[in-house]
Structure 1
Amino acid sequence: MMNRSIKKVAVLGSGIMGSRIACHFANIGVEVLLLDIVPRELSAEEQAKGLSLENPAVRNRIVNTSLQTAIKSNPSPVYTKSVVNKITTGNFDDNMKDIAGVDWVIEVVVENLDIKKKVYEQIEKFRKPGTLITSNTSGIPIHLLDEGRSEDFKAYFCGTHFFNPPRYLKLLEIIPTPNTKPDIVDFLMHYGDKFLGKTTVLCKDTPAFIANRVGVYSIMALLHLVEKMDLTVEEVDKFTGPALGRPKSATFRTTDVVGLDTMINVANGLYQNCADDKARELFKLPDYVQKLAENKWLGDKTGQGFYKKVKGADGKSEILALDLKTLEYKPSQKIKSATLEATKPIENLRDRMKVFSKGTDKAGEFFRVSFYGLFEYVSDRIPEISDELYRIDDAMRAGFGWELGPFEVWDALGVKETVAAMKEKGNEAAAWVHEMLDAGNESFYKVENGIKKYYDIPSKSYKPIPGTEAFIILDNIRPTKTIWKNSGTTLTDLGDGIINLEFHTKMNTIGGEVIQGINKAIDLAEKDYRGLVIGNDGANFSAGANVGMIFMMAVEQDWDELNMAVKMFQNTSMRLRYSSIPVVVAPHNLALGGGCEFSLHADHVQLSAETYMGLVEFGVGLIPGGGGTKEFALRASDEFKEDQIDQNVLKNRFLTIGMAKVSTSGEEAFELGYLQKGKYAISMNRNRLLADAKEKAIELAEAGYTKPVQRKDIRVLGKQGLGIVYAGANSMFAGNYISEHDKKISEKLGYVMCGGDLSQPTLVSEQYLLDLEREVFLSLAGERKSLERIQSIITKGKPLRN
């Protein structure tokens, strides 16, 4: 890998994609210059102010408005508000000269070859030789873009296709031209993965590249299938959502969000440019889609598409679904299906796919018709769009949010049996699939010695997937490296003296089996290893304690049992901190309640950039009872300074718990006080998280890790602090901001954080605070209103404000 670093990038074009790509580079700490065109005429507002077209505010209006729109959008493209300070705005006329100082120029202007070529002429004038230049086009062949450019421009030019929104969608397609230097391609593949947190997929310069080619085929095939099988909008979305390991927005809802016009453009482009594609006719729009386009029912942007949101008679909003035959909207119908019911209890998606494929109702038939067509399509696309089958799976997972790519689903169903079943339905797998089976190779992937390999078609052998050697994938090592397990956790040996404990309960909630697993892991690590990582490959790190269990004990007034359970939880958090080996917790996505408390007690937190961390017990009428309240009192004490008002420090800590604040990114978890300076690091790429956590555990062990000593010097404010807590809770209650029960919880939370009603500030131990925390937790668990809140979360999944 050559020595090239990216300190500053220029993004040319500040539309929806440009502004968000700029934000994502700023997220990772890169300086960004964001440019767009100069307006041709004044806005009414500018005229009223008497400004001229020469005024700098007018000249940068387009770029500044776009950036502000992006920052205010939801979900946010930035990790924290301060990120925006890394972005400087300007315009093509005044600031193109400034690209001389950047390391990478990313062009994101409108999809028009002539306009792009004009922009490149400008770039050539100012760009210094050797600067990377890439285009985010999705519709124009990359090789057409560097025509007529200098040799140096061509050597450093490439397509880099980000998916929208660039912060959240993991796919980055890299499309070289015949002139792109190979080491530039290697650099972009590595930089995208390691620093931008992307799944980088090398693509050929074919229409729509990989993900959109297969993804739009899949949607268009569905749109035609709807007519053939007489399916409703609701049926399709029910059949193609989470049950299949696809996003909740499934098919039609996704189309509404993305915009029907966007999909039509890609489909039309594919129809025009893929004359030899035997599925070409599917890229033609069915009549009802044509009508939607004519009516300008393009989805969310026009207020209606396949769905429409209306206010009902009672003032509540209601979702209507389009009847595809009459093109009238009607109330959304609940869909019932025996096959779907049968898949519900099955956690493992591969096993669920088998049940789907055997279904005898509409859902089963739909599954077979759509997947057999998809299998035929993707097998036919090799080697046209990719020489390697794993790139197609990578692109579909990272770009369309499929949990399993097409070849992975095919493997799950059994390649051989499926090829025969496809034939019966009139679908034919590509010749290379038959050759693979004839040679005795039964699957597209296999795992050998913990390494996942793919079937390489030219060599007719299995090869390791390049780039994955830097990842630790638990699915691959679990079969051979498991050293202990119970019903909710598995302990695996990661090598180099480090072990990993993973949770696999529902939503990775924490109950007795997880507590037992953590204690067993620490016992074993202290005896035979040198460090422990707690991390998993689930959808979420942990949604917190198993509230159902707390509810049962409280309802049955099993107070001794509940007291023991809470004590065990607290002791486990304390063991994470006070064991003789380093413990690294590796959260991603949701890390709530107990999942957050374990992170608070780790020696180091190695977290995914997308981690949503918080102490949320307040919402179920409780306070953090696994050491979280104690820990926030301890951290407040460490922040007290001689010359400032301690109550303000305490108030900030108190409000974080009292308002159940959840971070919207890993970086924000630090700002909210869940992470401590020097004791956390962020992994941009979720796939690298466990490997990074293991590295950190090794580093702590090699630095001569010693067991810390429990704290007895925590300064609590007693009555001095309570006064401010009670006054705050009373004024919030008086202003109708909180209910009477919220007021009670606030006062009890304050009581623990102030160390009880001591007559003056006092130094106390961690154990003293843990006992208070547990006592208050139990007293709240006995309150009827807290139980109502817990019940609402369990039965409706909604917080209750009572």
Structure 2
Amino acid sequence: MSKRRIKKVAIIGSGIMGSGIACHFANIGVDVLLLDIVPRELTDKEKAAGLTLEDKSIRNRLVNEALATSLKSKPSPIYHKKFAERITTGNLEDDIAKVKDVDWIMEVVVERLDIKQQVFEKLEKHRTPGTLITSNTSGIPIKFMSEGRSEDFQKHFCGTHFFNPARYLKLFEIIPGPKTDQSVLDFLNGYGEQFLGKTSVVAKDTPAFIGNRIGIFSIMNVFHVVKELGMTIEEVDKLSGPVIGRPKSATFRTIDVVGLDTLVHVANGIKDNCPDDERQDLFNIPDFVTTMLDNNWLGSKTGQGFYKKNVNSEGKKEILSLDLDSLEYRQKKSAKFATLELTKTIDNVADRFKVLVGGKDKAGDFYRKHFAALMAYVSNRIPEITEELYKIDDAMKAGFGWGHGPFQIWDAVGVEKGIELMKAEGLEPNPWVSEMLASGNSSFYSVKDGATYAYDLQKKSQEKIPGQDSFIILDNIRTSNEVFKNTGVVIEDLGDGILNCEFRSKMNTIGGDVLAGLNKAVDLAEKDFDGLVIGNQGANFSVGANIGMIFMMAVEQEYDELNMAIKYFQDTMMRMRYSAIPTVAAPHGMSLGGACELSMHADKVVAAAETYIGLVEFGVGVIPGGAGSKEMALRASDTFHKGDVELNVLQDYFLTVGMAKVATSAYEAFDMGVLQKGKDVVVVNKDRQIATAKAHARLLADAGYTQPVKRKDVKVLGKQALGMFLVGTDSMEASHYISEHDQKIANKLAYVMAGGDLSEPTLVTEQYLLDLEREAFLSLCTERKTLERIQHMLKTGKPLRN
């Protein structure tokens, strides 16, 4: 059998979902044909312009407008603006024949079976046999859609359900039809994980599949518990957000974003189509939700839902909350619970669940009721919606952004304890759970030899979860493969002669312990290993240097200590670059300030596509002081070509730092000069990142890595550049684009990147630039306005413009 490759896809339907999926295929380098219907009538503007329905621009109006709207939306569906050129638009009358040339046709039209069947009938006339054809439905049974289609169509047809927004939510549900070929499911499962960067989950063809069946149950259960315990929406959002490893938008804010009508549509679908569901009554829509629907309070799209943006009498913007009893909007109330106070010192979310379900207040009541219902419900969904319990956890983590799936939460509180919570609520687990305990298996999951195992109902034993071979899961190897640890890092042996240095500080900030750990990692790697990866699997790679520590030293005027601390940071970065072994950085999520400097000093960067990286030090009133300012000057120097206006090149790098630019994807970081074309690489699936970084470290070592020689040939432009920068900052301050203090910081940066006020362009050493950088950084730390900026950032997490 020939190997299936996806070079071109056709997306049928250009609504929010269709355009979003089209953008994500363009993100990964696939050519996309995006088709939609022809408009039935002209707009007044088109009539006035004398256009007719036969004009090509009119015939493609709907698809072009939908794609343009999607590309303008925030957060962006596309990694880089130019990737949109991979999408060709058309309409279902003039361009449908073009589907004969694609490798995969995906239908994303309105959720109505009759319309979907009409579309498939049209498509089948032009589809080349053997082409994949799938439907992105969130609930219509797959078996009905392919009725009456040819044998070849049915063999290659299934459901492929992306979650919105397609770029950011990782769940990719694959739902077989009655005749789907197994090789098609295997291909899509692998393709979703490796190329689309998703968590692929093969689900059964049951209403709402896995993610929405469990996710909507969880929300409907909250609706009932809220009324039972007399809770406010703020209280629920406080309890169901980051404290239990779920998104900041928690429950009610998430519903506002998704749309209350969408939620109710799925809930009604489950209620109507799951007559044997033991909790069918829970899917009845509560009165307060019905009233909100009648009032068109659907959330963000109608301007109000559970929360409402408002401008008060003083003209200030504020957010009001809905009172669930009176159904009137009121000022937001703060929510505090003694139980939550007990979890403040517990950094590992999994360790909090035991404490939360033991709470003696309303929070404890909420958690006991909520988790008991959730655990009982998921135990009863096996084998109805899937044979494997881990698929339910995967779906909830990838589709709803939960840090832990229901069975993982149950393991965290203890399987026996979970059953006790259920019984207190008059619920029972499915009999297979008691059978599991009776057979000597005391948990749903276990870890052996760096791999995760899950309980298998058929085999009645713990079986290795398939598909882990391309991943390295640090949680699974941290203890068994630990080589060294301090309070800031754990250094693990990844095997094959490669070490990994994993940050373990709060928000992965880089302070003294982390720097000591990095130096130790280089020492160990140089002595006994062949390469070093700097990577972790936290929410973010690192938010940068520990500014709290800098603030304390500056306030106490301990300038000698501060000078030493900055030099230590610089020296550590230079050690990354000039060690005897290859170093590979693996940034993902927020990789700011010092984390960006670290990445720029590794031999290679293996970045996750979702990496938000940049030198943001201006926001706290300083310049990059961990070798970042030096590095931008060096990179500008390496980019100078004969005939270039060298000043313009330097200015681009200067503005990247001065405007504290942050890339909104790894691909944008190449434009900023933070990542380097031809050297650094991007991985779409973050789960593969550490394994890929390890492979690159191994490749560098095998290619005969030699320790680089320190640079003495950095071309700086001196007075010529400095003069231009100072004139520029002067005019920006004069026209009030920047404050006086902004100008002071920018001038310090200008001095460093110009190489000081040298009378002519000169070749200098890296150390020369590092000394200028450190001096500038230190002098800014003596400024009151800089200290105000650092303090404001520490207090609020937001930059201050003063």
TM-score exceeds 0.5: yes
The answer for the alignment partner of 1:10 in structure 2 is 10
The answer for the alignment partner of 1:724 in structure 2 is 724
Question: What does 1:783-802 align with in structure 2 at a 5 Å threshold?
Answer: 783-802=783-802
Q: Displacement, 1:316? A: 1.3
The answer for the alignment partner of 2:769 in structure 1 is 769
Taking the aligned partners of 1:737 and 1:282, their CA distance within structure 2 comes to: 56
Q: Displacement, 1:296? A: 1.0
Letter in 2 for 1:583: T
Indicate yes or no: 2:90 matched with 1:58: no
Indicate yes or no: 2:366 matched with 1:350: no
Q: Could you say what secondary structure the match of 2:330 adopts? A: strand
Taking the aligned partners of 2:80 and 2:735, their CA distance within structure 1 comes to: 30
Question: What does 1:444-455 align with in structure 2 at a 5 Å threshold?
Answer: 444-455=444-455
Contact 1:2 1:183 (8 Å CA) reproduced: no
The answer for the alignment partner of 1:597 in structure 2 is 597
Taking the aligned partners of 2:267 and 2:524, their CA distance within structure 1 comes to: 57
Contact 1:519 1:572 (8 Å CA) reproduced: yes
Q: Could you say what secondary structure the match of 2:268 adopts? A: helix
The answer for the alignment partner of 1:611 in structure 2 is 611
Letter in 1 for 2:529: Y
Taking the aligned partners of 1:307 and 1:467, their CA distance within structure 2 comes to: 41
The answer for the alignment partner of 1:194 in structure 2 is 194
Q: Could you say what secondary structure the match of 2:478 adopts? A: helix
The answer for the alignment partner of 1:501 in structure 2 is 501
The answer for the alignment partner of 1:330 in structure 2 is 330
Q: Displacement, 1:416? A: 1.5
Taking the aligned partners of 1:661 and 1:240, their CA distance within structure 2 comes to: 33
Taking the aligned partners of 1:633 and 1:205, their CA distance within structure 2 comes to: 58
The answer for the alignment partner of 2:734 in structure 1 is 734
Taking the aligned partners of 2:469 and 2:429, their CA distance within structure 1 comes to: 31
Q: Displacement, 1:417? A: 2.3
The answer for the alignment partner of 1:297 in structure 2 is 297
The answer for the alignment partner of 1:256 in structure 2 is 256
Letter in 2 for 1:480: S
Taking the aligned partners of 1:420 and 1:380, their CA distance within structure 2 comes to: 17
The answer for the alignment partner of 1:309 in structure 2 is 309
The answer for the alignment partner of 1:675 in structure 2 is 675
Q: Could you say what secondary structure the match of 1:676 adopts? A: coil
The answer for the alignment partner of 1:630 in structure 2 is 630
Q: Displacement, 1:697? A: 0.6
The answer for the alignment partner of 2:38 in structure 1 is 38
Identity %: 62
Q: Displacement, 1:2? A: 5.7
Taking the aligned partners of 1:264 and 1:565, their CA distance within structure 2 comes to: 56
Q: Displacement, 1:551? A: 0.5
Letter in 2 for 1:408: Q
Contact 2:612 2:666 (8 Å CA) reproduced: yes
Contact 1:320 1:331 (8 Å CA) reproduced: yes
Taking the aligned partners of 1:303 and 1:377, their CA distance within structure 2 comes to: 34
Indicate yes or no: 2:143 matched with 1:128: no
Question: What does 1:89-128 align with in structure 2 at a 5 Å threshold?
Answer: 89-128=89-128
Taking the aligned partners of 2:464 and 2:495, their CA distance within structure 1 comes to: 19
Letter in 1 for 2:384: E
Count how many residue pairs are aligned between Structure 1 and Structure 2: 802
The answer for the alignment partner of 1:410 in structure 2 is 410
Letter in 2 for 1:290: T
Taking the aligned partners of 1:533 and 1:220, their CA distance within structure 2 comes to: 44
Structure 1 window deviating more from structure 2 (638-647 vs 627-636): it is 638-647
Contact 1:553 1:559 (8 Å CA) reproduced: yes
**1:645-694 Cα distance to aligned partner (Å, 9 max, x none):** 11100100000000000000011111111011122111111110100100
Q: Displacement, 1:421? A: 3.1
Taking the aligned partners of 2:273 and 2:312, their CA distance within structure 1 comes to: 45
Question: What does 1:66-81 align with in structure 2 at a 5 Å threshold?
Answer: 66-81=66-81
**1:701-725 Cα distance to aligned partner (Å, 9 max, x none):** 1111111111101110000000110
**1:168-197 Cα distance to aligned partner (Å, 9 max, x none):** 000000001121111110000000000000
Contact 1:2 1:187 (8 Å CA) reproduced: no
RMSD over equivalenced CA pairs, Å: 0.8
Q: Could you say what secondary structure the match of 1:757 adopts? A: coil
Question: What does 1:679-758 align with in structure 2 at a 5 Å threshold?
Answer: 679-758=679-758
Contact 1:534 1:584 (8 Å CA) reproduced: yes
Indicate yes or no: 2:463 matched with 1:463: yes
The answer for the alignment partner of 1:377 in structure 2 is 377
Contact 1:408 1:444 (8 Å CA) reproduced: yes
Question: What does 1:17-36 align with in structure 2 at a 5 Å threshold?
Answer: 17-36=17-36
The answer for the alignment partner of 1:655 in structure 2 is 655
Q: Could you say what secondary structure the match of 1:343 adopts? A: coil
Question: What does 1:353-372 align with in structure 2 at a 5 Å threshold?
Answer: 353-372=353-372
Contact 1:207 1:273 (8 Å CA) reproduced: yes
Q: Displacement, 1:424? A: 2.4
Q: Displacement, 1:232? A: 1.1
Q: Displacement, 1:34? A: 0.2
Question: What does 1:564-583 align with in structure 2 at a 5 Å threshold?
Answer: 564-583=564-583
The answer for the alignment partner of 1:388 in structure 2 is 388
Taking the aligned partners of 2:108 and 2:659, their CA distance within structure 1 comes to: 40
Q: Displacement, 1:439? A: 1.2
The answer for the alignment partner of 1:541 in structure 2 is 541
Q: Could you say what secondary structure the match of 2:19 adopts? A: helix
5+ long unaligned stretches in structure 2 = none
Letter in 2 for 1:395: A
Taking the aligned partners of 2:276 and 2:259, their CA distance within structure 1 comes to: 28
Q: Could you say what secondary structure the match of 1:480 adopts? A: coil
The answer for the alignment partner of 1:530 in structure 2 is 530
Letter in 1 for 2:512: G
**1:86-135 Cα distance to aligned partner (Å, 9 max, x none):** 00000000000001110000000111111111111111111111110000
Letter in 1 for 2:774: R
Contact 1:614 1:663 (8 Å CA) reproduced: yes
**1:399-423 Cα distance to aligned partner (Å, 9 max, x none):** 0000000000000001112212321
5+ long unaligned stretches in structure 1 = none
Taking the aligned partners of 2:176 and 2:77, their CA distance within structure 1 comes to: 27
Contact 1:617 1:623 (8 Å CA) reproduced: yes
**1:485-541 Cα distance to aligned partner (Å, 9 max, x none):** 000100000000001000011110000000000000000000000000000011100
Taking the aligned partners of 2:24 and 2:745, their CA distance within structure 1 comes to: 39
Letter in 1 for 2:414: G
**1:320-346 Cα distance to aligned partner (Å, 9 max, x none):** 111111111100100111011211221
**1:268-317 Cα distance to aligned partner (Å, 9 max, x none):** 11110000001000000011111111111111111111111100122111
Letter in 1 for 2:376: E
Q: Could you say what secondary structure the match of 1:470 adopts? A: coil
Contact 2:339 2:360 (8 Å CA) reproduced: yes
Q: Could you say what secondary structure the match of 1:571 adopts? A: helix
Q: Could you say what secondary structure the match of 1:459 adopts? A: coil
Letter in 2 for 1:285: I
TM-score by length of 1: 0.99
Q: Could you say what secondary structure the match of 1:309 adopts? A: strand
TM-score by length of 2: 0.99
Taking the aligned partners of 2:74 and 2:551, their CA distance within structure 1 comes to: 35
Letter in 1 for 2:430: A
Contact 2:375 2:418 (8 Å CA) reproduced: no
Taking the aligned partners of 1:169 and 1:206, their CA distance within structure 2 comes to: 21
Q: Could you say what secondary structure the match of 1:215 adopts? A: helix
**1:58-86 Cα distance to aligned partner (Å, 9 max, x none):** 00000000000000001000011101100
The answer for the alignment partner of 2:168 in structure 1 is 168
Contact 2:376 2:427 (8 Å CA) reproduced: yes
Contact 1:18 1:108 (8 Å CA) reproduced: yes
The answer for the alignment partner of 2:441 in structure 1 is 441
**1:558-590 Cα distance to aligned partner (Å, 9 max, x none):** 111111111110011001010010000000000
